[in-house]
Amino acid sequence: MPNIIKIFSGNAHRQLASEIACHLDLPLCEAEVKTFSDGEIFVEVKENVRGTDVFVIQPTCTPVNDHLMELVIMVDALRRASARRITAVVPYYGYARQDRKNAPRVPITAKVVAEMFMAVGVRRVLCMDLHAGQIQGFFNIPVDHLYAAPVVLGYIQENFDDVVMVSPDAGGVERTRAFAKRLNSGLAIIDKRRDKPNECEAMHVIGDVEGKTAILLDDMVDTAGTLCAGAKTLIANGAKEVHACCSHAVLSGPAIERITNSELKSLVVTNSIPLRGEALSCEKITVLSVSKLLANAINRIHNEDSVSSLFV
């Protein structure tokens, strides 16, 4: 079989797909992905993919259901066109927060999505900063889990001094501790109480932030309630200034208004999700590209090399 790699993209984030293809010195392959007037999605692959190693780049971001259906329909089209192997490159994995039963009679939707991927013919998944690491176990196929840490760490080292890394909740302590260790900095945790979904009340800070540049670290920013409340608490506890670093800029609902009016001096995100609407003009938001990181991982997968060695 020919050892040929082909890169395809749905409509979720064609700019990121183009950047990845550019790093790989490959063209972005042609496929028609459109929506009929009744909302049904149609896909037609315009190139021969028989016997090739295919990568489909599609973060399942807003509108999540449309982009998810685009991905699975495109994979089905590629499988029926005799692609040798199809890898779904999903920088942002939608439904990741529904990863367990936290109430009676609720679904584990992250598992449902994994089953959909496998059913249509995905044979490998490449994702980044999953909300819950156990999602890898929902798949019966290889899952390569990347971290935006190399990109974000470089930015922090170049732009901030005398920092303390802050976890906005107990669940993010492991991630934040890893950053603090790499930066040789202090670590703090915000004790918060969440009463309703997407709403939280920051309580107090565990750790020393007095006179330091506090950097809140999270995997995603959605409505920004957690980060903005955390920033207010950090300033009240003596932090010199507060910045936030998040891999995925979901930024739904009142997020931009909250960020604009908050104590946050800046919000650093990656381009795993394309910014849209008010987020494009928000002066506090800085976007870092993960296209080179994803391109390196794709190249290693294609050549059957170690992906984990990217983080050594």
Question: Which residues are designated catalytic?
Answer: 192
What the block records as the tokens of 301 is 């997968």
CB 173 within 8 A of CB 216: no
CB atoms within 10 A of CB 173: 15
* DSSP string across 128-160: ES-SSGGGGGG-SS-EEEE-SHHHHHHHHHHH-
CA distance 250 to 162: 29
CB atoms within 10 A of CB 43: 20
Starting at the earlier edge strand, list the strands of the sheet with 143-146: 5-9, 53-57, 85-90, 124-128, 143-146
CB 263 within 8 A of CB 238: no
CA atoms within 13 A on the CB side of 81: 20
CA distance 9 to 115: 21
CA distance 139 to 115: 7
